[in-house]
Amino acid sequence: MSPTTEAPTFAPLAKRATLRTVVPMDYFRPVRLFLMISYLVGYLIWLKTKGLTVDRISVAIAVGIFLVCAFVGKTWRTWGVLLLDCIFYCAMWLAYEKTRGAADDGVSVFGLFRIKFPTQVESTRNIDRAMFFGNDPNVVLQEHFWSPVIRWWDVVAGATYMTHFVFPMIAMGVLWATSHRQWLRFIRRFATLLAVGCVMFVVLPTAPPWMLGDARYPYQLLPPLQRTAGRGFYHIGFGSFRDGYKVALSNGNAVAAMPSLHASFALIVPLFFMQWIRRTWIKALLFLFPIMMLASLVYLGEHWVIDGLVGWAVTFAAFWFWNRMEQRARTRRSAAARGALPALADDPEPAIGPAATVSTAEVAP
């Protein structure tokens, strides 16, 4: 924060008129608020009765309905920008789904031949074993905690696992509705995660832990692992809503495991929103979430620990890269402005006295 030198004013703030005394009210503002609250209620009812929407197209429709509620009464230009945003958003997911499928089949080069990278089977397992002194964390966790009876930790693990399908979309929806600038900042980082993830899925197809113990596959390097990611979530009364659209985009790939996007998505949201949180204990609580996610993924046999750690590394790298790029853009624009200003601006002591510095106090939530 820069030092605050509030500009002097000639009339006490209390005696001055608010802008609303001269500017007519935007009647769509309460309408938008009402619609968004109605949407929230409707979404919760849907969640309870039909289940959590997890396939991409249903989620896109849910996000689209929210955006209509949030943008009612805004200018045509804002709607145009929103349309472009949505096209990018859908193209991003479509590219992700299609590329993700290539992890299994390799990449076709102009239809002439295919490049297929070898599936990593033992390497990730060995890294995990090296980190955990010769133990397989997935096996150890399931041996100690998994039983046919659903316990509270199954509920926590299942619910945490399922947040992957809605948590980043809720964050995007909130940002879309409140600040397009912040939405852009978020989506740059998010799209980078997906892009890096897709490249790694193709170049480094990785067998997940459950596959190494599954009799349907030829590996048999681990004892059979229970793959019951959703049971804790279903146990508390929620379902998982999928419909026919899922078939159209069913490119889910079992060996698209490195990096873990579950771990990445669980980190990107707290990491992004951290800038508005002042209290250390709340920050610490937020960062428990990605740790819970990784522990859940390992316990549920979905990922290796190294998958999650690489997912986190990619997330941090995306933030580092875009923070630098955004700062560079600000510096470039500032330099352009300074370069175009007359020479008198370089006068260290102008005759007219120092310029007022704008208070940034209102940044604080």
Partner 1 sequence: MMDPPKVLLERTFLQAVTDPADGHHEQAVVQYRALVDQYETESILLVAVHTDLRDFAGLDRHHVFAPVDRLWVGFQHRRAVRRSAVADDPQFALTLVMAERHHVRTIATFDPRFLEFELTVVPVAAVG
Exposure on the CB side of residue 257, measured as CA atoms within 13 A: 25
Q: How far is the CB of 272 from partner 1 (least distance, A)?
A: 10
Any contact of residue 133 with partner 1 (CB under 8 A)?
A: no
- Name the one residue in this structure whose structure tokens are 């995660």: 193
Q: Six-digit token pair at 342?
A: 């007359």
Cβ neighbours for 282, distance < 8 A, ≥ 6 positions apart:
none
Cβ atoms 300, 229 nearer than 8 A: yes
Asked whether position 135 contacts partner 1 by CB under 8 A, the answer is no
* Residues in contact with 357: Cβ distance below 8 Å, sequence separation at least 6, in sequence order: 2, 3, 4, 5
With helix as H, strand as E and coil as C, how does 94-140 read?
A: HHHHHHHHHHHHCEEECCCEEECCCCECHHHHHHHHHHCCCCCHHHH
Integer angstrom CA distances of residue 142 from 175, 222, 228, 332: 38, 12, 11, 53
Per CB under 8 A, does 126 bind partner 1? Answer: no
> Smallest distance from the beta carbon of 264 to partner 1, in angstroms?
22
Binding mask 43-82 for partner 1 (x = CB under 8 A): ------------------------------x-xxxx----
DSSP letter for each residue of 203-256: HS-B--HHHHT-TTSS---S------TTHHHHHTT--EE--THHHHT----TT-
| One character per residue 342-361, x = contact with partner 1 (rule: CB under 8 A) | x-xx----xxxxxxxxxxx-
Restricted to residues 310-329, the positions that interact with partner 1 (CB under 8 A) are 327
Closer residue to partner 1, CB minimum distance, 1 or 247 = 1
Minimum distance of partner 1 from residue 144's CB (angstroms): 43
Q: Does residue 333 interact with partner 1 by CB under 8 A?
A: yes
Tell which one of 126, 147, 179, 220 touches partner 1 (CB under 8 A). Answer: 179
- Nearer to partner 1 by Cβ, of 6 and 105: the residue is 6
Distance between CA atoms of 119 and 109, rounded to whole angstroms? Answer: 19
> Which is nearer to partner 1, 7 or 112 (by Cβ)?
7
Which residues within the stretch 158-177 sit at the binding site for partner 1 (CB under 8 A)? 175
Which 8-state DSSP code applies to residue 301? T
- Torsions phi, psi for 162 (to 5 deg): -70, -25
Closest CB to partner 1 among 13 and 215? 13
Cβ 270 to partner 1 shortest distance, Å: 15
Q: Does 13 bind partner 1 (CB under 8 A)?
A: yes
**Where on the chain is the footprint of partner 1 (CB under 8 A)?**
1-2, 6-11, 13, 16-24, 26, 73, 75-78, 175, 178-179, 181-182, 276, 327, 330-334, 336-338, 340-342, 344-345, 350-360, 362-363
